Amino acid sequence: MVKGAGPARAEFDDLERLVAGEKAAWDRFVARYAPVIFAAVRRKLAPAGRTGDAEDVAQDVFIRICARDFRLIRNYDASRAKLSTWLTVIAHSASIDHLRRQKRATQPLDTVPEARLAVDPPKDPVKIDIPPGLLSPRQALVLEMLYQREMEVAETAEILGVEPQTVRSTHHKALVKLRAHFHEEDF
């Protein structure tokens, strides 16, 4: 369980109860260390101009702490660092991970020129022959309306007198049948 003893260990003596799932111990832990974690996160995010993300990242720190049955707390060694120092390191790491994810994030879709989003239609569309009886009549009709007539789901649902979710479900089931059929045919 939690290793170490002495003054660093006394910093928060409820760790065993916290790991055991005692709500009162968790509440005391959060009340005491949320400001420490939040401050560490803000300090790391501020230079990148991302202080608005601090609450989300601090929440991620608490999720990390709870993950895998409090694995991080179970591995905490009080002889190596004070609990507040150790939590600051975790907050620092979570902040760096967050900033890396933000760097990899793509450009918001509404800022991309529409010409870059356009997709050219295939030059020679491939027509597949669906074996009779593979799809139910309703599945075949839904595919025809969505693909051949290029109708929207809501429009198809209105014409068929069903909910849009029914059209989506029917469409999905038809595609599953087609994938299974043509996958078997390839071998």
d(CA 50, CA 44): 9
pLDDT above 70 for 3: no
Contact 49, 99 (CB under 8 A): no
Question: Mutual orientation of helices 23-45 and 83-104 as an angle, nearest 10°?
Answer: 50
Structural domains of the chain in order of their starting residue, each with its CATH number:
7-106 (1.10.1740.10), 128-186 (1.10.10.10)
Q: Which of 38-42, 102-106, 151-155, 177-181 has the highest mean pLDDT?
A: 38-42
pLDDT at 7: 46
Higher-confidence residue: 82 or 12? 82
Q: Of 33-42, 62-71, 99-108, 147-156, which has the strongest mean pLDDT?
A: 33-42
The mean per-residue pLDDT over the stretch 11-28 comes to 85
Q: Which residue has the higher pLDDT, 121 or 168?
A: 168
Helix (H, G, I), strand (E, B) or coil at 114: helix
Residue 48 is predicted with a pLDDT of 87
Q: Of 125, 123, 54, 118, give the one whose Cα is nearest residue 92.
A: 54
Q: Tell me the per-residue pLDDT of 122-157, one tens digit each, with 9 for 90 and over.
A: 676 667 788 888 999 999 999 989 888 888 999 999
End-to-end CA gap in the chain? 54
Confidence class of residue 187 from pLDDT cuts 50, 70 and 90?
very low
Q: Residue 93 pairs with which residues in a beta bridge?
A: none
Beta bridge partners of 3: 77
Residue identified by tokens 């078997």 is: 184
Q: What pLDDT, in 10s, does the model give residues 40-55? A: 999 999 998 888 999 9
CA distance 37 to 29: 11
In the prediction, which pLDDT does 21 show? Answer: 87
* DSSP letter assigned to residue 77: B
pLDDT above 70 for 14 = yes
Query: Helices (DSSP H) in the chain: which residue ranges?
Result: 7-10, 15-19, 23-45, 54-74, 83-104, 114-117, 137-143, 153-160, 164-186
C-alpha–C-alpha distance, residues 97 and 176, integer Å = 37
Structure tokens at 138: 């309703």
In contact, 54 and 45? CB cutoff 8 Å: yes
